[in-house]
């Protein structure tokens, strides 16, 4: 009935949950029946006194009044069990939980199909950017050949500050923490785990085949220096933390997470600060990029509440299920191992500053069929070592690794500082 309110249960009142309540509390279309919090004594920016509040999240999942369970607690425990139980009780789900969808999506969507309920998760990737619905509906006419995203605001902020202020990674991280853009424990962000969850989800939508998060190759940004950023710019690139998903040469998918040299002319190169952007190449649409705030209270709540409003209208349709049943495919695609991928490479070495060093490096690369694009030496350090940077042409990673193994054995090599991939 059009006049009937849709009844909601909300699990989690952190940053996103607070935004969701702010957007919905006076909306006459909805009734918030029950809210679960971890700590009922904590003071909050939203007044919960007019709501039924519990610390028992499962009681929201099983509450017979509730039509849609809104899960904005994040993490696996207790979110996964809460969502499982809610689905089993016939409730629809709106969630912002990237980790849960990335790791348990196939199981949850199978359960939802069995129970004839819907799971929406627009907020799980890219915060306020309407990205999931774009992949699920707007781009259905396309064969997707690439999804490449800056989907972690923390690392994009750190890299931007390193570039602009010539900061080391540690300094930029400390500054990001002080500004509230990085967690006290930043590991999931700076080591790429957060991006792995997000690119797993995008990949499963773009290629209708889920992947195992743990199989996704990850390289963090902790070894990048401001020198790498400066030299990359001299070569015509900016370094961005990228989640990449594209078809491999066979049935496997090429899905990975690593800092990447992006050509200055590419739309992703211009994305700064905490912003997110997702570049998609489709067979009919060509190249598009969606850009905007990838985190934050109201941008993320915008995506959650958008899902709630869409779902609330859809469940009133007599035959909603056939149209409105987005899914994460159960079939698990294999991922191309990183040494089988092809890229350009930026490599920084520390070597002895003696005659013939650049020649020996060139010989090692030549021995393994790696063609060099540029080689440059940046002065001599106080300890007498030389910093040598080189850029390769497109080549299979296995060949680069074999050359680096040979270089490691050379007497003049002090250190292989960093190996970064170039987007081609």
* Smallest separation (angstroms) from ligand HSE to the CB of 131: 12
Q: Work out whether strand 385-392 and strand 372-380 pair parallel, antiparallel, or are unpaired.
A: antiparallel
Helix (H) or strand (E) holding 59: helix 57-61
Of these, 101, 139, 295, 389, which contacts ligand HSE (CB under 6 A)?
Answer: 295
In angstroms, the CA 373 to CA 207 distance is 33
Both tokens of 400, joined, read 């680069």
Q: Per DSSP, what are the bridge partners of residue 290?
A: 278
**Cβ neighbours of 57 (radius 10 Å):** 26
- Using CB under 6 A as the binding rule, the residues of this chain from 129 to 168 that contact ligand HSE are 152-154
Asked if residues 260 and 422 have their Cβ atoms less than 8 Å apart, the reply is: yes
* Smallest separation (angstroms) from ligand HSE to the CB of 348: 26
* Smallest separation (angstroms) from ligand HSE to the CB of 382: 36
The residue among 16 and 390 lying less far from ligand HSE, judged by its C-beta, is: 16
The residue among 108 and 295 lying less far from ligand HSE, judged by its C-beta, is: 295
The residue among 328 and 390 lying less far from ligand HSE, judged by its C-beta, is: 328
Q: Work out whether 243 is an interface residue with ligand HSE (CB under 6 A).
A: no
The residue among 18 and 154 lying less far from ligand HSE, judged by its C-beta, is: 154
In angstroms, the CA 176 to CA 100 distance is 26
Q: Per DSSP, what are the bridge partners of residue 348?
A: 389, 418
- Using CB under 6 A as the binding rule, the residues of this chain from 248 to 267 that contact ligand HSE are none
The residue among 17 and 344 lying less far from ligand HSE, judged by its C-beta, is: 17
The candidate with the shortest Cα–Cα distance to 338, out of 180, 216, 223, 176, is 216
Asked if residues 236 and 263 have their Cβ atoms less than 8 Å apart, the reply is: yes
Q: Work out whether strand 385-392 and strand 342-352 pair parallel, antiparallel, or are unpaired.
A: antiparallel
* Smallest separation (angstroms) from ligand HSE to the CB of 197: 8
The residue among 154 and 232 lying less far from ligand HSE, judged by its C-beta, is: 154
Of these, 189, 228, 254, 307, which contacts ligand HSE (CB under 6 A)?
Answer: 189
The residue among 66 and 201 lying less far from ligand HSE, judged by its C-beta, is: 201
Asked if residues 6 and 29 have their Cβ atoms less than 8 Å apart, the reply is: yes
Helix (H) or strand (E) holding 243: strand 237-247
In angstroms, the CA 133 to CA 131 distance is 6
* Exposed / middle / buried, residue 77 (Cβ in 10 Å: 0-12, 13-18, 19+): exposed
* Smallest separation (angstroms) from ligand HSE to the CB of 194: 5
> Please, how many CA atoms are within 13 Å of residue 213, restricted to the half-sphere of its CB?
20
- Binding-residue total with ligand HSE (CB under 6 A): 7
* Smallest separation (angstroms) from ligand HSE to the CB of 181: 7
Both tokens of 289, joined, read 């990029």
* Exposed / middle / buried, residue 350 (Cβ in 10 Å: 0-12, 13-18, 19+): middle
Please say if 198 is a catalytic residue: yes
Q: Work out whether 294 is an interface residue with ligand HSE (CB under 6 A).
A: yes
In angstroms, the CA 333 to CA 356 distance is 47
Of these, 63, 71, 194, 307, which contacts ligand HSE (CB under 6 A)?
Answer: 194
The residue among 189 and 228 lying less far from ligand HSE, judged by its C-beta, is: 189
Q: Work out whether 99 is an interface residue with ligand HSE (CB under 6 A).
A: no
In angstroms, the CA 175 to CA 177 distance is 5
- Catalytically annotated residue among 198, 240, 281, 378: 198
Cα angle at 316 between 312 and 319, to 5 degrees?
A: 120
* Smallest separation (angstroms) from ligand HSE to the CB of 95: 13
For residue 209, give the DSSP letter: -
* Smallest separation (angstroms) from ligand HSE to the CB of 98: 6
Residues in touch with ligand HSE (CB under 6 A): 152-154, 189, 194, 294-295
Which residues are known to be catalytic?
Answer: 198
């Amino acid at each position: 009935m059009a006049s009937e309110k849709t009844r909601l249960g909300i699990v989690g009142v952190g940053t996103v949950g607070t935004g969701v309540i702010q957007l919905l509390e006076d909306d006459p279309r909805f009734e918030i029946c029950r809210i679960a919090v971890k700590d009922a004594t904590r003071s909050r920016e939203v007044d919960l006194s007019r709501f039924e509040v519990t610390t028992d999240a499962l009681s929201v999942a099983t509450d017979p009044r509730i039509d849609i369970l809104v899960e904005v607690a994040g993490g696996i425990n207790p979110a996964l069990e809460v969502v499982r139980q809610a689905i089993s009780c016939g409730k629809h789900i709106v969630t912002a939980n990237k980790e849960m969808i990335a790791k348990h999506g196939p199981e949850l969507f199978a359960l939802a199909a069995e129970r004839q309920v819907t799971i929406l998760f627009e907020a799980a990737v890219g915060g306020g950017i309407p990205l999931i619905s774009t992949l699920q509906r707007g781009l259905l006419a396309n064969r997707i050949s690439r999804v490449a995203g800056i989907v972690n605001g923390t690392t994009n902020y750190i890299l931007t500050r390193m570039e602009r202020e010539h900061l080391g990674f540690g300094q930029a991280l400390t500054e990001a923490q002080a500004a509230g853009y990085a967690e006290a424990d930043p590991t999931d962000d700076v080591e790429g785990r957060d991006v792995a969850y997000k690119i797993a989800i995008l990949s499963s939508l773009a290629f209708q085949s889920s992947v195992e998060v743990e199989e996704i190759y990850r390289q963090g940004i902790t070894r990048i220096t401001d020198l790498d950023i400066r030299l990359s710019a001299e070569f015509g690139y900016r370094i961005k933390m990228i989640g990449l998903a594209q078809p491999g040469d066979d049935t496997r998918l090429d899905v990975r997470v690593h800092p990447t040299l992006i050509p200055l002319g590419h739309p992703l190169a211009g994305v700064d600060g905490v912003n997110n952007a997702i570049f998609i190449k489709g067979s009919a649409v060509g190249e598009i990029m969606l850009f905007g705030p990838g985190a934050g209270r109201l941008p993320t709540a915008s995506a959650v509440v958008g899902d709630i409003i869409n779902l609330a209208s859809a469940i009133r349709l007599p035959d909603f299920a056939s149209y409105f049943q987005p899914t994460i495919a159960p079939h698990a695609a294999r991922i191309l191992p990183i040494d089988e991928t092809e890229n350009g490479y930026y490599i920084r070495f520390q070597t002895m500053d003696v005659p013939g060093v650049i020649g020996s490096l060139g010989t090692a690369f030549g021995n393994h069929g790696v063609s060099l694009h540029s080689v440059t030496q940046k002065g001599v350090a106080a300890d007498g070592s030389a910093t040598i940077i080189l850029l390769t042409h497109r080549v299979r990673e296995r060949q680069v690794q074999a050359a680096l193994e040979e270089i490691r054995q050379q007497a003049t090599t002090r250190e292989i500082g960093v190996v970064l991939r170039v987007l081609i």
